[in-house]
Amino acid sequence: MPRYFFDIQDGGPRYDDQGTECATLEDVRKAAMRVLPDIAREQVPQDGDRRTFTVVARDESGNAVYTATLSFAGIWLTRP
C-alpha cells in the first residue's frame, strides 16, 4: 500500500517523516481532513484568536498530491 506524508504548516513547517499508508487518493484526502482539527484543537488556545493551519500530503516520491487549510478567527463581541 502506498505511503503518504502529511506536512503541517502553521507558522513554520513540520515535516512528516513517518507517513501513513493510504489505499486511495480519497483516503489521503480524508486523512488530511482529520489531522487539521486535531492540530487546531491543540494550538488555537495557546496562540490567540487568529490561526491558519495547512496540511500538504506528499506521495513517496515527494510530490504534493493534496492540500487543505483550516482557518480559525475568534472575535470578542463584548469586552473581555
Query: 1-57: per-residue pLDDT in tens?
Result: 999 999 999 877 899 999 999 999 999 999 999 999 988 888 776 767 888 999 999
Establish if 80 belongs to a structural domain: no
The predicted pLDDT at position 47 comes to 65
Beta strand 20-21 pairing with 13-14: unpaired
| Residue 79 covered by a domain | no
Specify the pLDDT at position 20.
96
The pLDDT value given to residue 49: 84
pLDDT of residue 12: 79
pTM (two decimals): 0.84
Residue 78 lies in a domain: no
Q: Domains in the chain: how many in total?
A: 1
Q: What is the pLDDT of residue 66?
A: 98
CB 67 within 8 A of CB 7: no
